[in-house]
Amino acid sequence: MDKIVILDFGSQYTQLIARRIREYQVYCEIWPYHLKECDLNSSDIKGIILSGSPYSVADPRAPQLEEMILKSNKPLLGICYGLHLLVKTLGGKVVQSQTREYGKALLTILEKRGIFEGFGNEMVCWMSHGDSVKEIPPQFQCIARTETCDYAAIVDDQRRIWGIQFHPEVSHTPLGKEILSNFIFNVCGCSSDWTAESIIKQQIQWLRNTAQKEKVICALSGGVDSVTAAVLTYRAIGDQLSCIFVNNGLMRKGEPEHVLRNMEALLGKGRVIAVDAKDRFLNELQGVVDPEQKRKIIGRVFIEVFEEEARNLGDATCLLQGTTYPDVIESISVCGPSVKIKSHHNVGGLPELMHLRVIEPLRFLFKDEVRQLALELGIPDEIVWRQPFPGPGLAVRIIGEVTENRLEILRDMDYIIYQELKNSPIFKKLWQSFGVLVPVRSVGIMGDERTYKYVGVLRAVMSEDGMTADWAKISYETLDIIARRVVNKVAGIGRMVFDITSKPPATIEWE
């Protein structure tokens, strides 16, 4: 299978480049720039992209271009910092600009070939840089410029090295996808063979080779990732797979029953072991208000419950996980250790504790690719398009202590929010939409009586991958209906507010 490799120098847009390339059904992997053991000479690698970076090439700490990259003789495309790195390494000159250039610019195309094949004379592009190319290396030619950037695109035809100052992967560069398409097809000669059908066929064979005759267990959450991993694995190894679904009492209204019905339809009766651990989780959370402590308790108790149930299965040796590509990418530090925003509840502690070998058939797929795979596997739309749901569930959507009463209030509020937004035109554009319970009481009037009830929050955001998010522009009419229904129907809620904070600076979840 043809492959494009992106060498990541720490850009916030690196994943977006990969997503754009995969939209053309060409397989693409992201590698940290410093992975010296990787074989760039492999015949399936058809081209290499050098990403942007938060660094300046003038910074003594800045990532450098490894010699093996140039020695691979593969077509190269340097984007922003990638361009600067190529220029500096190959004998050109890069200078720090007096002011950072950020925003839209009009690009004048001087040579309509290669990455600009089929283009007109001009196009809009998105700039985001503090350094600029002052002199290009020998054998390079300028092929595009802007009013303030003399070398907006350059090329060395003999070595098939291209460099661009702007970002083709962002939507603010309207023809950016066509530039990437020209690079992967015209320059690198890739074939479009990365399809849902081919992935299923490939992964079923991989699962059979990996699992052999061993028993595999899966921690099933009901989300699209774990369900897709389970269905795919069941197709590959059948009765060797057992799924365990733990009801922690922190799920949405009717969700445990819904998950079990769906899995029975997909895998058949008896394939999922359901564990009711609601009381155990709530007892452990009693009196706990710190969000980090809540997450850690939920993670620990989940592991304890799962381990107990798995022990009853006897000789399972493998753990199936619905790990996706963003999880893999974010687990590798590119430019130093990242700051921990919050602990994530997953089954990360299980393999070591139970001496299990991890199997991750989705580890090279983005969320949208997992959904395409799920559709191809016949998984119902309601699972495929289910919004991301935090591992700790509603516990991190209740500020402060988690109690059964507060959970019931939040479930009822959240269900009304879901019902009304599902009937709204904006629903399919939403990444996540949900309610948050703030245990601060607010005065109100219902009939002739004074009320003193909790505050409910509507949180709804739009995003491509959850890394950044903008608050959803829900119509006043829909907001009005949600607020009136919640206050009138949900016992305990006396006031509704709408969170209009984007990520960053806020996170999507409140805890």
If DSSP states are collapsed to H, E and C, what string results for 101-153? EEEEEEEEECCCCHHHCCCCCEEEEEEEEEEEEEECCCCCEEEEECCCCCCCE
pLDDT of residue 290: 94
Catalytically annotated residue among 80, 125, 149, 318: 80
Buried b (16+ CB within 10 A) or exposed e, 21-50: bbebebbbbbbbbbeeebebeeeebbbbbb
* Helical spans, DSSP H, in 392-467: 404-422
Instruction: Give the H or E element holding residue 83.
Output: helix 81-89
∠ at Cα 176 (171, 177), nearest 5°?
95
Question: For residues 10 and 55, what is the distance between their CA atoms, to the nearest angstrom?
Answer: 8
169 labelled catalytic? yes
Nearest to 243 by CA among 347, 374, 345: 347
pLDDT tens by residue, the chain, 511 residues: 899 999 999 888 888 899 899 999 999 999 888 876 678 888 999 999 999 998 899 888 899 998 889 989 999 999 999 999 999 999 999 998 766 667 889 999 999 999 999 999 999 999 987 888 999 999 999 999 998 899 999 999 999 999 999 999 988 899 999 999 999 999 999 999 999 999 999 999 999 999 999 999 998 988 899 999 999 999 999 999 999 999 999 999 999 999 999 999 999 888 899 999 999 999 999 999 999 999 989 988 988 898 888 888 878 888 998 888 877 776 665 554 333 434 444 445 555 666 788 899 999 898 889 999 999 999 998 899 888 888 899 999 999 999 999 999 999 999 999 999 999 999 989 999 999 999 888 887 766 566 778 999 999 999 876 767 899 999 999 999 999 999 999 989 999 999 999 998 888 999 8
pLDDT of residue 352: 63
Catalytically annotated residue among 84, 129, 167, 345: 167
Q: Would you call 437 helix, strand, or coil by DSSP?
A: strand
User: How would you class 216 by CB atoms within 10 Å of its CB: exposed for 0-12, middle for 13-18, buried for 19 or more?
Assistant: buried
Q: What's the length of the chain?
A: 511
Catalytically annotated residue among 169, 309, 369, 511: 169
pLDDT of residue 327: 75
Q: Phi, psi (5° rounding) for residue 123? A: -155, 155
Between the CA of residue 342 and those of 301, 313, 345, what are the distances in Å? 18, 33, 10
Token pair 């010699």 is found at 67
Q: Would you call 288 helix, strand, or coil by DSSP?
A: coil
167 labelled catalytic? yes
* Helical spans, DSSP H, in 90-195: 176-181
Q: Which residues touch 149 (CB under 8 Å, ≥6 apart)?
A: 101, 105, 127, 132, 165
Token pair for 174: 């309207």
* Helical spans, DSSP H, in 136-254: 176-181, 196-211, 224-237
- Stated pTM of the model: 0.80
pLDDT of residue 323: 87
Q: Phi, psi (5° rounding) for residue 322? A: -90, 40
* Helical spans, DSSP H, in 247-344: 255-267, 278-285, 291-313, 325-330
Question: For residues 114 and 77, what is the distance between their CA atoms, to the nearest angstrom?
Answer: 11
pLDDT of residue 178: 97
User: How would you class 129 by CB atoms within 10 Å of its CB: exposed for 0-12, middle for 13-18, buried for 19 or more?
Assistant: buried
pLDDT of residue 38: 72
